[in-house]
Amino acid sequence: MDNDEESKKEKEGTRPEEEAEDKKPASGDPSLRVRPVNTNVDSEDFRYGDLNQILEDLQDGKIGINGGRDMRDANVAEVQDKQPEKAEEAKTSGKPGGKNNPPEKPSLFREVLSWIEVLVIAVVIAFVLDRFIIANSQVPSGSMENTIMTGSRVIGSRLSYKFGEPDRGDIAIFIYPDDEAKGIKTYYVKRIIGMPGDTVDIHDGGVYLNGSDTPLDEPYIAEPMENEPAMHFEVPEGCYFMMGDNRNYSNDSRRWEHPYVKRDKLVAKVLFRYFPGFKWLDN
């Protein structure tokens, strides 16, 4: 009898700390710790649901012994699965070719309009260059051989005579005075021989300037001039006397009805030949 009472006393004297230690899980995982029950919670608030719902949740694996940790791991895995999708949406959204903005296909009208704009700009640039900066000319005859051959194309600088004065020996593009008198604009290419105020005498196969006894040195002529009757010219102020390098086959100031070219009819100074081949012609 005494033993039963002592045993009963020992059981009744068990310390709360010992009971708590007995209730601790063997594992050190914090998710497996037993949480104290709040005895102040109303039974209606504490209810999970009916027994059938609890059994279904257990079968589906929604709750279990390690339910806290399992659900937390599932939530982490779900977030990790969604992160690549969100990153992909962030990359593609708001950009051409993305899910929200498919690539815009240029219309035929816009493409044609862009080509027209390019052509208009090119035409304007070409017009400005040809009108104010350069002169592109083809020499159709052999009057300037062997310096410029028949059919050659040359480039002249309009700026040279806009901001500078012509010099003797320049190869110039100018308006042919006989055609201009008829209301026709024809461009010729010749060499400047006589300057304003010069006297030009041609005899004995040579050109003599300002009464000189020595003929003008002309290394550029194709061949010596043939003898012909002497000619005398007095170049007016503001005018120039022009001759071709191929003297025996050149229609130049010696043959014209209006033999002098006015200063404002000099269009450009020839700089180079670009076809056929390149040749620098500026003295």
Q: Is 143 a catalytic residue?
A: yes
Question: Which candidate in 137, 143, 152, 157 is catalytic?
Answer: 143
Question: Which candidate in 137, 157, 190, 269 is catalytic?
Answer: 190
What is the DSSP code string of the chain?
A: -HHHHHHHHHHHT--HHHHHHHHS-SS--GGGSPPPP-TTS-HHHH----HHHHHHHHHHTSS-TTHHHHHHHHHHHHHHHHHHHHHHHHHHTTSTTSSSSPPPPPPHHHHHHHHHHHHHHHHHHHHHIIIIIEEEEE--SSTTTTTS-TT-EEEEESHHHHHS---TT-EEEEE-HHHHTTT---EEEEEEEEPTT-EEEEETTEEEETT-SSPPP-TT-SSPPPP---EEEEPPTTEEEEE-SSGGG--STTT-SS-EEEGGGEEEEEEEEEETS-EE---
Residues marked active site are found at 143, 190
